[in-house]
Every structure is written in C-alpha cells, then in structure tokens.
Amino acid sequence: MDYDASDIAATYDRGRSHGPEVLDLWMSTVSSHVEGHVLKTILDLGCGTGRFSEALAARFDAGVIGIDPSTKMLEQAQKKQLDIRVRYQLGCGEALPLSDNSVDLIFMSMVFHHFDSPTQVASECRRVLHEEGTVFLRAGTCDRISSYPYVDFFPTSRPILERCLPAVRSVQAIFEAAGFRALAVEVVTQQVAPSLECYAEKLSARADSVLASLRCSDFEDGMEALRSHASRVDSQAVFEPIDVFVFR
C-alpha cells in the first residue's frame, strides 16, 4: 500500500497505538531475546510514525535509525520526536541506505506483508547486521486470520488478508534462505482496547491498511455491526495475536 497516496498517516497513531502497557510488553519481549548482547545501533525498519522508535532507544540506550518509504509517515514521526538518539530516514527494505555490518538489531513491526520483495529484504537485513546481530519481527500471518478480532465484523477483509499476509512457514523459510537461523517463532497476545466500544473508536480511524482498502459501504457496515455487538454484550477487553520471529 502506498501510504503517501492515502490519509492514513494523520490518523495512524489514534488507530494503532495501544498505550504504555502494550509498548512495555513489546520492549520486554525484545529484551528477552537479546539479553547478553550489546546494542549500539538499532534499525527500526518500516518505522512508520515512530511508534516503537523512541521506546527502543530508551529501553536499550541505543541509537535508533527509523527507515520508512512514506514521507507522510516520517513527517508524523518527526513531529513528535523527543529523543536525540533517534533519527528518521527515507528508504525501503529492499535497498537499505546503510553500510554493511552497521547495526546490532533490526526491529520490524507489521511491515513484512508490505514488502515488494521479502527475499531481498531478508538479504539486506543479513548485509547490514553485525555477525551476531538479531532480527526481531512482529507480523500478521494468514495462519492467524480467524483470530483477528475485526474479521468477523468486516467479512470482506478476509480475502484481502488471505491474499496479502504470509504464512508462518514462509517467513521462516525466507530468512533461513538468507543465512539466518530461527531463534524463536512464537505468538504474543496483546490487548488492543479495554472494551469493544474503545475498539470500535480505534477502528473508526481506519488506520489499518486492510480496513482502509475496503469499499466505504463495507467499512461502514462493519463499523455498524461492531458497535451494535458492543452495545449488546458486557464490556470486555479486546485482544489480538501477533506472530513473532527472532532470527540471528
């Protein structure tokens, strides 16, 4: 998806940020996989609006390079930047504007399905990482579609997800073919909203690329179905599974 051809950047944080507890969950998860390794430079590949960039810098006391192909997303990241250890740069995963062996950790969040050539991205990750460097990848996969909380309310999202999301086995195979070994392939469940009502408010921002690609009538029907359901059931938190891959 071409984010610069859409208005997603302006509403992305409202729709996709899940609060400090979820951010801490992910920093702790990353930390558990790099314990004992000194991190001086981190690449936040596909950083978008920088949702994780400053948290990575703070948790690991490291310099963070946030790279994204979208000018609009980077503009949002730069507007809210506070940490001088973070810098943002325009670029794409298939041709990283970085030197060989120049980073210690590559962090990717929900971007793998956007790459034009995942194989080339894995090769570029291998090139820019130090020999003992780590790739930490959060991803949506086709294995998990039925567990994503909005799918039942937006049925036309399912074929889009089936078409664009990779399978767990294919992600692992791509990185292993590039010379990595898998240290972990697991699922982490995160809370995305404290209630269905709050979840509906988040989705109304239409900050998810799949929801943004739906016809307006399909999106509006889905929002109506979700809000109607929320009004009929007891308030409950909303959770979603995220596939995690760690390669070295």
Give how many domains the chain has, as a whole number: 1
Asked if residue 97 belongs to a domain, the reply is yes
In sequence order, what are the beta bridge partners of 66?
44, 88
Return d(Cα 248, Cα 131) in angstroms, integer.
8
Asked if residue 235 belongs to a domain, the reply is no
What letter represents residue 174's amino acid?
I
Cα dihedral across residues 177, 179, 184, 186: positive or negative: negative
Asked if residue 75 belongs to a domain, the reply is yes
Q: Report the pLDDT value the prediction gives residue 150, as an integer from 0 to 100.
A: 97
Q: What is the DSSP letter of 214?
A: S
Asked if residue 26 belongs to a domain, the reply is yes
Are the C-beta atoms of residues 206 and 15 closer than 8 Å to each other?
yes
Longest Cα pair distance anywhere in the chain, in angstroms?
56
Sole residue written with tokens 């990717």: 108
Q: Report the pLDDT value the prediction gives residue 138, as an integer from 0 to 100.
A: 97
Asked if residue 234 belongs to a domain, the reply is no
**Which helix (DSSP H) or strand (DSSP E) does residue 66 occupy?**
strand 63-68
Asked if residue 206 belongs to a domain, the reply is no
Asked if residue 228 belongs to a domain, the reply is no
> And the tokens for 50?
């920088």
Ordered per-residue pLDDT tens for the chain, 248 residues: 677 678 777 778 777 788 899 999 999 999 999 998 999 999 999 999 999 999 999 999 999 999 999 999 999 999 999 999 999 999 999 999 999 999 999 999 999 999 999 999 999 999 999 999 999 999 999 999 999 999 999 999 999 999 999 999 999 999 999 999 999 999 999 999 999 999 999 999 999 999 999 999 999 999 999 999 999 998 899 999 999 999 99
DSSP code per residue over 125-138 = HHHHEEEEEEEEEE
Q: Report the pLDDT value the prediction gives residue 4, as an integer from 0 to 100.
A: 66
Closest CA to 180 of 114, 113, 133, 117: 133
Contacts (Cβ under 8 Å, ≥6 apart) of 146: none
Return d(Cα 165, Cα 136) in angstroms, integer.
18
* 8 phi/psi in degrees, rounded to 5: -60, -40
> And the tokens for 146?
């039925």
Identify the CATH number of the domain in which residue 105 sits: 3.40.50.150
Q: Tell me the residue range of the domain where 13 lies.
A: 3-192+240-247
Asked if residue 203 belongs to a domain, the reply is no
Are the C-beta atoms of residues 46 and 67 closer than 8 Å to each other?
yes
Q: What pTM was computed for the model?
A: 0.95
